[in-house]
């Protein structure tokens, strides 16, 4: 490592719906940081252990099956909302749970780098709105990180790919289908400049929706009993659904043995059925791609390369759909699960002014439109309120400053109330409300005249929106700033929650791997019957007694043995 | 004030987009968006100015190249330049031709050229549109609209434009015809209109291109979709400069306003004394 001493590295973080990764930029380029199990991917799952300690990652994910009431996952989907997760008499917001994941990643990086980590670049889906972005900022703060920048996930992916080809001149389209979100970006590289031309996406489409589809198909096969399944039995079935979905990428059909009920139920799914059942989900890929293409002022035939990012793009249905839409075979030379984290590290390197990136400049766009509400004359002296007037159009290069002139509705109007919105609907009601300004009409204005206002929007690279309203008759200017942070939680809230999270007892990192194995054994126990169950029990006892002896070499050997055995078992019920 | 090409670091107008971009790339390294946002915004505007100028130059050059099509008068030249005539200019026969002609049965001339996906789909749409029974069949429309899943991105862009154009023509025609036959039925029943808007995903601002956005907006007005979504916000800025300056306020309106104000004051006084 080069970053030592008083020079602290900025880390890049891919805070995903299903998995999260952390990385750092070094002289050799972006590098992923492994967690305690040696894997780069940490499941974005949080839970309480039986000793009431907080656990994050693999163990928490397995415990979703055995202890659904003590575990939570997929909370990224609810970032910025008020959805609460109740785990053992305690309420968590999605920000809290994300902060716990971030804290865990931070600890991994500190172990790996041998120095404290305090600054980070976190990736977010391009289609995350302002509220969701603020929530991500807040989560970072609660984890004790200074969030230097949020980077759009497809932009990060493009950075990772672009860095390999920075001398070239090409236009490429990034298709990023993650666990919970779908993003598309078009990137143009010329003379070492990486320019994002456009971004579009669907914040509610991801691999998890395809797992849900398999889950539903299995549910139909189980029949009426499906409705009566409890949380644990459902968790078990969903776990099987996910594994079946993964196996379907390489096999034409998959059978699973479901042991959640008293007898073993064999459930089968073929790739054709899966393709048929997910038609609706597949069709949702089209609109964002089309939008990105036309917003960039291009046609699909102008695209040189298509790059696939996100674990869900492993599904053959996605690949064939993308090929059909763009008439171009997509490439995936980098691991689709790692690309975003690698790109986040590149952005961290850029923020950090790393020498290796001296010649690289990246420009990004605002993926959404920003504007105000206006009333529109519909004839007969009538006005219709609540129309959206974009001031900064989506996919404009940032930083950007744009101005529009509006005037009062009636000559005797005393005040205007200016609503600030983000979104693409022609009606403000369907867009996201960001703030409101009240501007008084000057009293000395000539009677019977309308008052006009110049409304200037300035949007910068860190997501800060500044609004300046100038009243024309007296040239007075009123200013408002909508910040990228602190967001829906106030500054005090964040500090308070930071302290509360610090009070939570976190399971020691060096024991996490063993805990993960125990959780996995227990999950396997839940999912089996009869003989295998007894064998699992034996393995569990064997592992626990080895742990009790506290001999590290023995424990490592036992770990390896049990993992190998568990893999064999897994292949028994999903094949 | 510096000209745009000076901001780009050039001595003269750039000859093509490539040289403009190269100059921009060079300047960008010393005017990074993070360090110098003001400078970057200027640089970016300069590149956009170059883009516009080059586009105009190409547009003008194209006009000179085609004197045969373009007679002397400017307005005609402009019309001839357009690929597709604008909605208002097209005659009713032409619309039906446009709708009917799309190759349901390909003519011999284009037989060896495979019709693109959007053309095939468009012809089936025309068929549904012109058939009095199919026209009202929601299930049929739904099925047709679902078939666009098989189009490529480019075909879809073309299809969307054609389809929207055809609808605009049909509704324009209807508005014209209604002047003579006030009872004339709408080209499509409301449920179908709604379905089209949903399936074509036109409810959101699809297009940053104002021309296309206006087309969608116009259709939305014709489809009467605005009136069915009652807006709730009360707001007081407006898009245009005042348009009724000369109207003044009529006397009865003025009197009503005064009476209203007095009534409010009286009511407030009353309330005030009550507590």
Hey, is the C-beta of A353 within 8 angstroms of any chain B C-beta? no
Residues on chain B touching A399 (C-beta within 8 angstroms)? 33, 37, 40-41
Alpha carbon distance B188, B205 (integer Å):
23
Q: With CB atoms and an 8 Å threshold, state whether B25 touches A325.
A: no
Nearest Cα of chain B lies from the Cα of A81 at a distance, in angstroms, of 23
Question: Is the pLDDT at B232 greater than 50, yes or no?
Answer: no
Least confident of A322-331, A381-390, A566-575, B88-97: B88-97
Q: Mapped to the 3 state alphabet, what secondary structure does A479-495 carry?
A: EEEECCCCCCCCHHHHH
Query: Token pair of A495, please?
Result: 């500090």
Q: Is B235's CB within 8 Å of A417's CB?
A: yes
Ranges of H-type helices in A431-511: 491-503
Partner A contacted by B227 (CB < 8 A): no
pLDDT (average), residues A479-508: 73
Instruction: Report the alpha-carbon distance of residue B201 to residue B186 in Å, rounded.
Output: 22
Q: A191 to chain B: nearest residue by CA? A: B25
- What is the pLDDT confidence band of residue A402, given thresholds at 50, 70 and 90? very high
Cβ of residue A464 closer than 8 Å to a chain B Cβ: no
Give me the residues of A, 502-541, that contact B with CB < 8 A. Answer: none
Q: What's the whole-number mean pLDDT along residues A118-146?
A: 90
CA distance B179 to A327: 47
Q: Which residue of A has its CA nearest to B160?
A: A290
**A355: number of CA atoms within 13 Å, CB side?**
4
Q: pLDDT at position A63, please?
A: 87
Selecting from A290, A325, A361 the residue whose C-beta is nearest the C-beta of B28 gives: A361
What is the phi/psi pair of residue A196, to 5°?
-75, 120
Q: Which of B40, B146, B234 sits opposite A385 (nearest CB)?
A: B234
Residue B108: pLDDT over 80: no
Q: Give residue-wise pLDDT tens across range B62-94.
A: 777 665 544 444 433 333 333 444 444 445 555
Q: Mean pLDDT over residues A382-392, rounded?
A: 88
Contact B205 A287 (CB under 8 A): no
CA gap B129, B141 in Å, rounded? 9
Residues from chain A that touch B206, judged by Cβ atoms under 8 A, are 291, 424
Burial class (CB within 10 angstroms; exposed 0-12, middle 13-18, buried 19+) of A46: buried
- Across the interface, of B149, B154, B238, the residue whose CB is closest to A407 is B238
Residue A390 reports pLDDT greater than 70: yes
Q: Cα distance from B124 to chain A (closest Cα, Å)?
A: 20
Mean pLDDT of chain B: 74
Tokens of residue A176, six digits:
């990023």
**More confident position, B237 or A321:** A321
Helix (H/G/I), strand (E/B), else coil: B117: helix
Asked if A327 has any chain B CB less than 8 Å from its own CB, the reply is yes
Residues in chain A: 575
Which one of A398, A427, A450 has the shortest CB-CB distance to B231? A427
CB within 8 Å: A373 and B235? yes
* Separation in Å, CA of A202 to nearest CA in chain B: 13
Between A213 and A482, the more confident residue is A213
The answer to whether the CB atoms of B152 and A429 lie below 8 A apart is no
Query: Of B152, B226, B231, which has the smallest distance from its Cβ to A327's Cβ?
Result: B152
Chain A and chain B share a number of CB contacts under 8 A equal to 156
Q: How many residues does chain B have?
A: 275
Give kind and range of the element (H or E) at residue A537: helix A530-549
pLDDT at A533: 81
Q: Which tops the pLDDT comparison, B216 or A31?
A: A31
Determine contact: A393 vs chain B, CB below 8 A: yes
Q: Is the pLDDT of residue A539 over 90?
A: no
Query: What's residue B246's pLDDT?
Result: 42
What's the pLDDT tens digit per position in A225-281? 888 888 888 888 998 999 999 999 999 999 988 887 878 888 999 999 999 999 889
The encoded tokens of residue A565 equal 């055995």
Among A200-209, B112-121, B183-192, the least confident range? B112-121
Could you tell me the pLDDT band of residue A65, with boundaries at 50, 70 and 90? confident
Asked if A461 lies within 8 A of B33 by C-beta distance, the reply is yes
In this structure, of A184-188, A345-349, A372-376, B123-127, the range with the lowest mean pLDDT score is B123-127
Distance, C-alpha A249 to centroid of its chain: 23
Choose the closest CB to A384 out of B152, B231, B243.
Answer: B231
What integer best gives the mean pLDDT of chain A? 87
**How is residue A421 written in tokens?**
């919105």
Higher-pLDDT residue of B253 and B226 is: B253
Q: Is B149 on the interface with A (CB under 8 A)?
A: yes
Q: In angstroms, what separates the C-alpha of A364 from chain B's closest C-alpha?
A: 9
pLDDT of amino acid A566: 84
Strands A146-152 and A119-124, by their bridges, are parallel
Percent of chain A with pLDDT over 90: 37
Give the per-residue pLDDT at B89.
Answer: 46
B191 touches chain A (CB under 8 A): no
Q: Does A461 touch chain B (CB under 8 A)?
A: yes
Contact: B156, A286; criterion CB under 8 Å: yes
Nearest CA distance, A173 vs chain B (angstrom): 13
Distance CA B89, CA B174 (A): 14
**What is the C-alpha to C-alpha distance for residues A144 and A120, in angstroms, rounded to an integer?**
10
| For range A43-66, the mean pLDDT | 88
Query: Does residue B201 belong to the interface with chain A, where contact is any CB pair within 8 Å?
Result: yes
Is pLDDT above 70 for A158? yes
* Lowest-confidence region among A136-145, A409-418, A501-510, B29-38: A501-510
């Amino acid at each position: 490592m080069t970053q030592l001493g008083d020079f602290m590295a900025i880390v890049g973080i891919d805070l995903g719906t299903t998995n999260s990764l952390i990385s750092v930029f070094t002289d050799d380029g972006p590098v992923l940081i492994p967690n305690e199990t040696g894997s780069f991917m940490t499941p974005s799952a949080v839970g309480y252990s039986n000793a009431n300690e907080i656990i994050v990652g693999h163990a928490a994910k397995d415990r979703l099956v055995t202890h659904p009431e003590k575990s939570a996952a997929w909370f990224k989907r609810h970032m910025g909302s008020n959805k609460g997760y109740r785990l053992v008499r305690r309420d968590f917001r999605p920000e809290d749970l994300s902060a716990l994941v971030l804290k865990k990643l931070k600890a991994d990086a500190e172990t790996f780098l041998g120095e404290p980590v305090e600054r980070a670049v976190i990736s977010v889906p391009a289609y995350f709105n302002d509220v969701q972005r603020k929530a991500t900022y807040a989560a970072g703060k609660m984890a004790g990180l200074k969030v230097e920048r949020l980077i759009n996930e497809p932009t990060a992916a493009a950075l990772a790919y672009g860095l390999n080809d920075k001398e070239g001149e090409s236009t490429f389209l990034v298709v990023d289908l993650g666990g919970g979100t779908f993003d598309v970006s078009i990137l143009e590289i010329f003379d070492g400049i990486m320019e994002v031309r456009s971004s579009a996406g669907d914040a509610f489409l991801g691999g998890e929706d395809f797992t849900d589809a398999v889950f539903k198909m299995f549910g139909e096969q189980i029949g009426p009993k499906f409705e009566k399944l409890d949380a644990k039995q459902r968790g078990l079935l969903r776990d099987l659904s996910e594994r079946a979905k993964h196996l379907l990428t390489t096999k034409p059909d998959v059978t699973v043995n479901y042991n959640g009920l008293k007898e073993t139920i064999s459930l089968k799914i073929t790739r054709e059925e899966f393709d048929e059942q997910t038609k609706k989900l597949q069709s949702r890929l089209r609109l964002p791609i089309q939008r990105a293409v036309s917003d960039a002022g291009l046609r699909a035939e102008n695209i040189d390369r298509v790059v696939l990012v996100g674990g869900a793009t492993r599904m053959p249905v996605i690949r064939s759909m993308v090929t059909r839409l763009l008439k171009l075979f997509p490439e995936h030379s980098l691991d689709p699960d790692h690309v975003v984290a690698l790109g986040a590290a590149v952005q961290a390197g850029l923020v950090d002014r790393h020498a290796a990136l001296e010649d690289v400049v990246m420009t990004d766009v605002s993926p959404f439109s920003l504007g105000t509400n206006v009333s529109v004359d519909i004839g007969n002296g009538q006005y219709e309120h609540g129309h959206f007037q974009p001031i900064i159009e989506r996919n404009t290069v940032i930083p950007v400053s744009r101005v529009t002139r509006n005037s009062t509705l009636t000559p005797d109007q005393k005040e205007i109330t200016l609503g600030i919105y983000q979104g693409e609907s022609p009606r403000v009601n369907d867009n996201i409300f960001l703030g409101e300004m009240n501007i008084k009409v000057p009293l000395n204005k000539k009677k019977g005249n309308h008052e006009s206002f110049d409304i200037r929007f300035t949007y910068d690279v860190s997501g800060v929106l500044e609004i300046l309203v100038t009243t024309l008759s007296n040239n007075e200017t009123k200013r408002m700033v909508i910040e990228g942070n602190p967001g829906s939680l106030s500054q005090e809230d964040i500090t308070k929650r930071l302290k509360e999270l610090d009070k939570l007892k976190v399971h020691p990192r060096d024991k996490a791997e063993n805990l993960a194995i125990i959780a996995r054994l227990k999950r396997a126990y839940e999912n089996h019957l009869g003989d295998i169950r007894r064998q699992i029990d034996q393995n569990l006892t064997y592992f626990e007694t080895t742990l009790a002896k506290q001999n590290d070499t023995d424990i490592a050997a036992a770990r390896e043995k049990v993992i190998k055995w568990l893999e064999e078992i897994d292949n028994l019920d999903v094949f | 004030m510096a000209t745009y090409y000076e901001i780009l670091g050039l001595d003269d107008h750039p000859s093509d987009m490539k040289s403009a971009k190269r100059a921009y790339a060079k300047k960008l390294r010393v005017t990074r968006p993070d360090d110098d946002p003001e400078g970057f915004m200027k640089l970016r505007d300069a590149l956009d100015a170059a883009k516009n100028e080059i586009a105009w130059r190409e547009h003008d050059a194209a006009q000179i190249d085609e004197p045969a099509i373009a007679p002397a008068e400017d307005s005609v030249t402009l019309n001839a330049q357009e690929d597709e005539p604008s909605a208002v200019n097209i005659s009713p026969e032409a619309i039906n031709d446009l709708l009917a002609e799309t190759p349901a049965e390909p003519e011999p001339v284009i037989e060896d050229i495979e019709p693109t996906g959007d053309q095939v789909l468009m012809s089936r749409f025309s068929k549904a549109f012109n058939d009095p029974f199919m026209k009202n069949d929601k299930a049929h429309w739904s099925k047709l609209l679902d078939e666009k899943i098989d189009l490529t991105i480019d075909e879809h862009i073309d299809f969307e434009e054609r389809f929207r154009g055809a609808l605009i023509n049909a509704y324009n025609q209807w508005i014209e015809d209604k002047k003579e036959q006030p009872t004339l039925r709408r080209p499509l029943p409301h449920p179908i209109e709604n379905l089209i808007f949903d399936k074509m995903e036109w409810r959101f601002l699809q297009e940053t291109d104002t021309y296309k956005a206006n087309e969608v907006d116009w259709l939305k007005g014709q489809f009467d979709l605005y009136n069915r979504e009652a807006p709730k916000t009360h707001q007081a800025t407006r898009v245009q400069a005042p348009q009724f300056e000369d109207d003044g306020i009529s006397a009865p309106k003025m009197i009503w306003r005064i009476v209203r104000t007095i009534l409010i004051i009286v009511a407030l006084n009353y309330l005030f004394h009550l507590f």
